[in-house]
Amino acid sequence: MVNLKIGDIVARKSYGGDIFFKIMNLCTGDDGKQYARLKGLDMRLEATAPVDDLLKVEQVELNQYWHSCQLKNMEKMKHIFVRREEYRKETLGRATKSNMDEIESFDLPGTLVHIDGDKEYLDMCMTSYKQLNIECNGYHIDEEKQAEKVIDILMEHRPDMLVLTGHDGLIKGAKEEDYRNIKKYHNSQFFINAVKAARIYEKSRDDLVIFAGACQSHYEALLAAGSNFASSPRRVLINAYDPVFVMEKVAYTSIYDPIPLKDVIASTVTGFDGIGGVEAPGKQHAEKFCPGY
């Protein structure tokens, strides 16, 4: 067996190597076996697995994996920029009957605070926000501490949107009948507490749009707490970039246009199994002017 160490990239044999993980910690269980604490590279998942169930991923495979992930994200962003341009022409057309070629405009998309329990995921998301021209203030805060810090952060930045995410998951052995039991989740209660705290700062779902949750989070409880969007309706894994793509749609939709839920979810990697919510307003203020004015 290959000797494994913290930081190695591995896959689980018992799951057919479907997800690549980084080893975050190694320990000996009560049964005397060696176990590894794992974190998904691009899926918001933490897991514990026996070391003898792990297979080290070679560099060539890892390069191919990241290349595939980058292609998917590039394709998503390509569609986003095409959609933005079409939407811009539509909204300008509604606002004026002048020749579109004679109108110059610039966009004022909504502003965002992203609080993440995982520093690497946060960094990945912050890079994407920058590429998508979304103003975002990011904070790495452990899930259990997010509720006590979120109000101060909101008061400092006064954003239009808030993301509360990190890691989550059903406790091992949980069955479908346990889905409504909050005690069967690793971190869902912490996200719920943070959403409730944010709603003390701003009660209106229209004035502060919130995305909350991670892989397999208690979707219904997060919505009941005050989220506009949450994971995970079918208790599936979600992609690290799903919160980014949800908030991009909100940030670049006019404040005068409510956003159908299907349009928001269509922007995500995971789709309706992983992300759900309620209709929300856009947060874009579009400024327009004609040359010579």
Token match 């390509």: residue?
78
Q: Which residue has the higher pLDDT, 75 or 106?
A: 75
Residue 121 has pLDDT above 50, yes or no: yes
Residues 6+ apart with CB under 8 A from 276: 219, 223, 229, 230, 231, 233, 261, 265
Q: Which of 288, 293, 292 is nearest to 104 (CA)?
A: 288
Q: How many CB atoms lie within 10 A of CB 160?
A: 24
Q: How many residues does the chain have?
A: 293
| Helical (H) or strand (E) element with 200 | helix 188-201
Separation of CA 111 from chain center = 16
Mean pLDDT within 24-34: 93
Least confident of 89-93, 115-119, 210-214: 89-93
Whether the per-residue pLDDT at 97 is higher than 70: the answer is: no
pLDDT at 109 over 50: yes
Least confident of 57-71, 126-140, 181-195, 227-241: 57-71
Sequence spans of domains, the chain: 9-57, 65-288
Taking the CA atoms of residue 186, residue 171, residue 1 and residue 44 in that order, the dihedral angle to the nearest 10 degrees is: -50
Task: Note the pLDDT of residue 94.
Answer: 61
Distance CA 135, CA 54 (A): 40
| pLDDT confidence tier of residue 73, bands split at 50, 70 and 90 | confident
- Burial (CB < 10 A; 0-12, 13-18, 19+), residue 178, is middle
Give the rounded percent of residues in the chain with a pLDDT score beyond 70. Answer: 91
SS3 of residue 196 by DSSP? helix
* Cα–Cα distance, 84 to 92 (Å, whole number): 12
Q: What is the pLDDT of residue 2?
A: 61
- Domain covering 65-288, topology: Rossmann fold (3.40.50)
Question: If DSSP codes are grouped into helix, strand and coil, which group holds residue 221?
Answer: helix
Q: What percent of the chain has pLDDT above 90?
A: 70
User: Contact, 143 vs 192, CB < 8 A?
Assistant: no
Q: What is the pLDDT of residues 209-252, one digit of tens each?
A: 999 999 999 999 999 999 999 999 999 999 999 999 999 999 99
Q: What is the pLDDT of residue 100?
A: 53
pLDDT(287) > 70? no
Q: Is 177 exposed, middle or buried, given 0-12, 13-18 or 19+ CB atoms closer than 10 A?
A: exposed
List beta partners, residue 56. Answer: 10
**More confidently predicted of 66 and 100:** 66
Question: What pTM, to 2 d.p., does this model score?
Answer: 0.88
User: Which residue is associated with the tokens 């947060």?
Assistant: 283
Long-range contacts of 146-153 (CB under 8 A, 24+ apart): 146/115, 146/117, 146/190, 146/191, 146/193, 146/194, 147/190, 147/193, 147/194, 147/196, 147/197, 148/197, 149/115, 150/115, 150/194, 150/197, 150/198, 150/201, 151/197, 151/198, 151/200, 151/201, 153/113, 153/115
pLDDT tens-digit series, residues 159-199 = 999 999 999 989 888 888 999 999 999 999 999 999 999 99
Average pLDDT, the chain: 90
Q: How far apart are the first and last CA of the chain?
A: 73
